[in-house]
Copies of this chain bind each other. A is one copy, B any other.
Amino acid sequence: MLKNDLILRAAKNQVVERTPVWMMRQAGRILPEYRTVRAKMGDFISLVKTPEFACEVTIQPVDILGVDAAIIFSDILVIPEAMGLPYKMIESKGPWFEKTIQTKEDLNSIHIAHLQNYQYVIDAIKLTKKELNNRVPLIGFAGAPFTILAYMVEGSGSKTFSKAKKWMFTQKHEAHQLLELITLSTINYLKDQIKAGADMVQLFDSWAGILSPQHYEEFALFYIQKICKAIKDEFPETPITVFAKGAFFARENMGKLSCDAIGLDWNMDIKESRALIGNNKTLQGNLDPCILYSDNKTIVAETEKMLLDFGPKGHIANLGHGIYPDVEKEKAKLFIDSVKNYKHKV
- A213 and B270 CA atoms in complex are apart in Å by 11
Name the residue of chain B whose CB is nearest to the CB of A216.
B267
Question: For A169, what are the chain B residues with a Cβ–Cβ distance below 8 Å?
Answer: 290-291, 293-294, 298
Interface digits, A252-280 against B, CB 8 Å rule (1 contact, 0 not)?
Answer: 00000000000000111100000000000
Question: For A288, what are the chain B residues with a Cβ–Cβ distance below 8 Å?
Answer: 165, 211-212, 215
A145 to chain B: closest CB distance in Å? 18
Which residues 94-144 of A sit at the B interface, judged by CB distance below 8 A? none
Name the residue of chain B whose CB is nearest to the CB of A305.
B214
Inter-chain contact B166/A212, CB cutoff 8 Å: no
Question: For A289, what are the chain B residues with a Cβ–Cβ distance below 8 Å?
Answer: 160, 162
- A165 and B170 CA atoms in complex are apart in Å by 38
Inter-chain contact B159/A213, CB cutoff 8 Å: no
- A295 and B173 CA atoms in complex are apart in Å by 14
Interface digits, A296-315 against B, CB 8 Å rule (1 contact, 0 not)?
Answer: 00100000000000000000
Question: Contact residue range for chain A?
Answer: 20 to 34
- A293 and B266 CA atoms in complex are apart in Å by 32
- A166 and B321 CA atoms in complex are apart in Å by 15
Question: For A324, what are the chain B residues with a Cβ–Cβ distance below 8 Å?
Answer: 160, 162
- A321 and B166 CA atoms in complex are apart in Å by 15
Partner of A248, one of B166, B249, B294: B249
For residue A246, CB closer than 8 A to chain B, the reply is yes
Interface digits, A306-330 against B, CB 8 Å rule (1 contact, 0 not)?
Answer: 0000000000000001001010000
Q: A267-B249, A268-B249, A269-B213 are in contact. Are A290 and B159 (CB under 8 A)?
A: no
For residue A209, CB closer than 8 A to chain B, the reply is yes
A232 to chain B: closest CB distance in Å? 29
Q: A290-B166, A291-B169, A324-B160 are in contact. Are A212 and B267 (CB under 8 A)?
A: yes
Inter-chain contact B293/A165, CB cutoff 8 Å: yes
Question: For A248, what are the chain B residues with a Cβ–Cβ distance below 8 Å?
Answer: 248-249, 267
Q: A160-B324, A248-B249 are in contact. Are A267 and B166 (CB under 8 A)?
A: no
Question: For A267, what are the chain B residues with a Cβ–Cβ distance below 8 Å?
Answer: 209, 211-213, 246, 248-249
- A209 and B212 CA atoms in complex are apart in Å by 15
Question: For A166, what are the chain B residues with a Cβ–Cβ distance below 8 Å?
Answer: 290, 293
- A162 and B323 CA atoms in complex are apart in Å by 11
Name the residue of chain B whose CB is nearest to the CB of A157.
B159
Name the residue of chain B whose CB is nearest to the CB of A247.
B267
A159 to chain B: closest CB distance in Å? 7
A70 to chain B: closest CB distance in Å? 25
- A157 and B326 CA atoms in complex are apart in Å by 18
A291 to chain B: closest CB distance in Å? 7
Q: Determine which residue in A166, A169, A211, A295 has the highest number of CB atoms from chain B within 10 A of its CB, and name it.
A: A169
**Can you list 25 pairs linking A and B with CB atoms under 8 Å apart?**
A160-B290, A160-B321, A160-B324, A162-B289, A162-B290, A162-B326, A165-B288, A166-B293, A169-B290, A169-B293, A170-B293, A170-B294, A170-B295, A209-B209, A209-B246, A211-B267, A212-B267, A212-B288, A246-B246, A246-B267, A248-B248, A248-B267, A249-B267, A249-B268, A249-B269
